Amino acid sequence: MDSRKCQWTAVFMLLAAAVPLAAQPSQFRPGFNLFTRDQDIQLGKEAAAEIEKQVEIVDNAELNAYIRTIGNRLIAQPQADKYPYFFKVVNDPSINAFALPGGPVYVHTGLIAAADNESQLAGVLAHEIVHVALRHGTNQASRANLIQLPLILASKAAGNTSLLGQLTQIGLGLGANSVLLKFSRTAETQADLMGVQIAAQAGYNPIEMARFFDKIEAEGGARAPQFLSSHPNPGNRKQAIENEIRQLPSRQYNADTGQLPRMKAIVSRLPAPKKVPTQGASGATAPLSIPESRPSGRMQSYQGKEYSLSYPDNWKAFPNEKSGGVILASPSGIQQTQQGISVGYGAILDYYQPKDPKATLWQATDEFVQQLRTVDPRLRAGREMPREIRLGNKRAIVTTLYSDSIFQGQTELDQLVTIPHPKGMLYIVFAVPEGEAAVANRSFDQMLQSLRLNF
Q: What is the CATH number of the domain that holds 379?
A: 3.40.1000.10
Considering the domain boundaries, does residue 2 fall inside one? no
Alpha-carbon span 113 to 253, nearest angstrom: 22
Alpha-carbon span 434 to 289, nearest angstrom: 15
Q: How far is CA 313 from CA 285, 330, 363, in A?
A: 18, 9, 35
Alpha-carbon span 129 to 80, nearest angstrom: 6
Considering the domain boundaries, does residue 15 fall inside one? no
Least confident interval from 122-126, 221-225, 238-242: 221-225
Residues spanned by the domain of 355: 290-453
DSSP string, 178-247: -TTTS--HHHHHHHHHHHHHHHHHTT--THHHHHHHHHHHHH-TTTTHHHHHHS---SSHHHHHHHHHHT
Q: Is the pLDDT of residue 14 over 50?
A: no
Q: How far is CA 38 from CA 52, 53, 378, in A?
A: 21, 23, 31
Helix (H) or strand (E) holding 100: none
Q: Is the pLDDT of residue 2 over 50?
A: no
DSSP 8-class letter at 410: P
Phi, psi of 138 (to 5 degrees): -75, -25
Considering the domain boundaries, does residue 1 fall inside one? no
**Alpha-carbon dihedral angle through residues 265, 271, 277, 278, given to the nearest 10 degrees:** 0
- Domain count along the chain: 2
Are 106 and 26 members of one domain?
yes
* Average pLDDT of the chain, as a whole number: 84
> Residue 52, SS3?
helix
What percent of the chain lies above the pLDDT cut of 70?
86
Nearest one of 119, 82, 117 to 102, comparing CA atoms: 82
Which amino acid is present at 189? T
pLDDT category of residue 101 using cuts at 50, 70 and 90: very high
pLDDT category of residue 455 using cuts at 50, 70 and 90: confident
Considering the domain boundaries, does residue 228 fall inside one? yes
Report how many helices (DSSP H) and strands (DSSP E) the chain contains, helices first: 16, 16
Considering the domain boundaries, does residue 216 fall inside one? yes
DSSP 8-class letter at 305: S
Nearest one of 241, 152, 252 to 191, comparing CA atoms: 241
pLDDT category of residue 289 using cuts at 50, 70 and 90: confident
Are 167 and 91 members of one domain?
yes
**Position with higher pLDDT, 207 vs 406:** 207
Are 126 and 219 members of one domain?
yes
Considering the domain boundaries, does residue 170 fall inside one? yes
Alpha helix (H) residue ranges in 247-401 = 260-269, 290-293, 361-375
Domain-terminating residue out of 207, 238, 269: 269
Considering the domain boundaries, does residue 242 fall inside one? yes
DSSP string, 316-330: EEEEETTTTEEEEE-
Are 296 and 261 members of one domain?
no
| CB of 408 closer than 8 Å to CB of 216 | no
Are 74 and 162 members of one domain?
yes
What average pLDDT score do residues 385-394 get? 88
Are 116 and 224 members of one domain?
yes
Considering the domain boundaries, does residue 277 fall inside one? no
Alpha-carbon span 82 to 258, nearest angstrom: 27
Are 251 and 352 members of one domain?
no
Are 320 and 406 members of one domain?
yes
Are 358 and 313 members of one domain?
yes
What average pLDDT score do residues 415-438 get? 92
Are 250 and 338 members of one domain?
no
Alpha-carbon span 413 to 402, nearest angstrom: 5
Domain-terminating residue out of 269, 298, 317: 269
Are 357 and 418 members of one domain?
yes
Cα of 243 vs its chain's centroid, Å = 26
Are 114 and 179 members of one domain?
yes
